Chains A and B, each alone.
Chain A
């Protein structure tokens, strides 16, 4: 500190190194996050999927024994194989479950969009002082346990449930409808649970939209409905796409709703996965099911990211 010349050099040097470290740190944080919370668990699951089932704790073999050094590691890798994945192709239960999951997810997403879009539109067109309240109403159910809300639907949809009682009371039906333990109940549960994920991105796209665009469309000869199709829908498309992916991706792997509201005919991969893990205690096959599920989901996730990126670029 007594030598000013050196002090300058010193602080410059430190500044440069400090800058590099700061950058490295900033880049490292998301990568460490990704590594710790996604890649490491994924590789553990992948490893189990390549193992064989065994009557042991944990219920698979081989396990990595590092005490034997290098030979232990090579021994470990030599025992891994793809027979569980081959098994998935041999039993048609699995691909039927995958297909059925994707089908249920697609149909449920379309229903969620049909219900979600008008709600989002109404919110975006509501007086400005009302919007925070409406937003609150959409988010409010999240404050109650998801499981309890699904159980509540069992109470509503069962043969003696509120819905049937109400329909009998107003005389629309004479015998109770069987809704619970059918695919219909699953769709109702999914639409109910995932509606906010559809509403919020569409709402944010609609709210940003300049009202004068609609007036301009009308001024140029559009009826209200034409203006909606030609201007409002195209401009809210990024929101629609984001909402659809946010609903579809988690619904494909959904377990709670089909197992509580669905019946024996409801085939979803989440349920198969659970049964492999806990009924059959076949962790390797269950892991293989999970890995394939992830690979199926990678496609829509990549498409979703693309959509988000395009939207940010368009906004700049």
Chain B
């Protein structure tokens, strides 16, 4: 290994742990997964992200064995797993509801899977203790699930699914039931445990922040299809479609027509009477082609006067201000009624804020700040 950076997806030699090969899943007339192919590598923390009903849970249930593909195959370490029932797969799942057995103690819950494997008593005890230590649950071992808190239950579910040392661990909205503060702590704990155990994790979530925090790669899904599969930063900085740009984080979308203007630089005519915008793009666009310009609010600078050297600058007035404490988002209305969001850090106290409602302001951004998306 020459580099410490973990990027098996860029290495053509790397063998994926899981391969979806043209998988389609239909429920009656409804297509949940539509001819989808995907590689997931060993030791990855892979996030399936999308709105509810996008098919992410179906993908997970197919990996666990609770559903079988209507067409196509799923390969796990070189083996077609379609005919293998869930109890014979080296895959474990952490359920959204945790699905802890209410009649068993925490200890017995964790031991449940090991007992099915007829593990020798001594090894079994060692393994359960190890799992209790890993999830810091030692003092709760004798309790029943209804006698512990939600966060502890979540850790029991994790310990139980990790106990059998699966090749692949599936996490179905693992943090959905926790409050925000606890969720953030638990995210880092999850990453820590994933690194310690070296298990491949596939997490299903509708929370983009969660996916970005924990995952090595994120797959954005919509209507049974993968929209983009990439690292969190690439998903955020280089979305490949308006859908992805809009789904991840906050974004301004400007619709217009592109005209080439030298090497990888385009001029976008977007509104009557507005000066054209300049943006760079590696993809080729023909002259007059319809396009969308996606600009993140934090890349838009707000100022009282027109910045002298700005490539893109437009004028408007402050329509609304969303104060988030550390940040403020300014909703700036342009002359044609379009609202553009600009975000700036509140480095000064709020009483000394530079702009207030109805103030005329200039918005500016560089040529590389925006992502140009061809229609």
Contact = CB atoms under 8 A, between A and B. Distances in A.
Interface of A: 210, 212-213, 215-223, 226, 230-231, 234-235, 314
B288 interface: no
Contacts of A219: 64-65, 86-87, 91-93, 161
A218 to B, nearest CB: 5
B155 interface: no
Nearest to A231: B101
Given A215-B66, A215-B86, A216-B93, A221 B99 contact: no
Interface in B77-110: 85-87, 91-93, 95-97, 99, 101-103
A212 B95 contact: yes
Contacts of A234: 103
Nearest to B112: A220
Given A216-B93, A217-B112, A223 B87 contact: yes
B87 A212 contact: no
B164 A314 contact: no
B95 A220 contact: no
Contacts of A215: 64, 66, 86, 93, 95, 99
A311 to B, nearest CB: 12
B353 interface: no
A235 B99 CA distance: 13
- Nearest first, the 6 closest Cβ-Cβ pairs linking A and B are A221-B116, A220-B113, A216-B99, A212-B99, A234-B103, A218-B86
A213 B93 CA distance: 12
Contacts of B113: 220-221
Contacts of A212: 95-97, 99
B146 interface: yes
Given A210-B99, A221-B164, 12 more contacts: A215-B64, A215-B86, A215-B93, A216-B95, A219-B64, A219-B65, A220-B112, A220-B116, A220-B160, A220-B161, A221-B113, A221-B116
Nearest to A316: B146
Nearest to A227: B87
A231 B116 CA distance: 13
B117 interface: yes
A217 B160 CA distance: 11
A213 B116 contact: no
Contacts of A213: 99, 101
Nearest to B89: A219
23 contacts: A210-B97, A210-B99, A212-B97, A212-B99, A215-B66, A215-B86, A216-B95, A217-B101, A218-B85, A219-B86, A219-B161, A220-B92, A220-B112, A220-B160, A220-B164, A221-B113, A221-B117, A222-B87, A223-B87, A234-B103, A235-B103, A314-B102, A314-B146
B39 to A, nearest CB: 23
Contacts of A230: 112
Contacts of A235: 102-103
Interface in B44-69: 64-66
A218 B93 CA distance: 10
Contacts of B103: 234-235
Central interface residue in B65, B66, B116, B160, by most chain A CB within 10 Å: B116
A38 to B, nearest CB: 35
A219 B87 CA distance: 5
A222 B116 contact: yes
A220 B146 CA distance: 21
Contacts of B99: 210, 212-213, 215-216
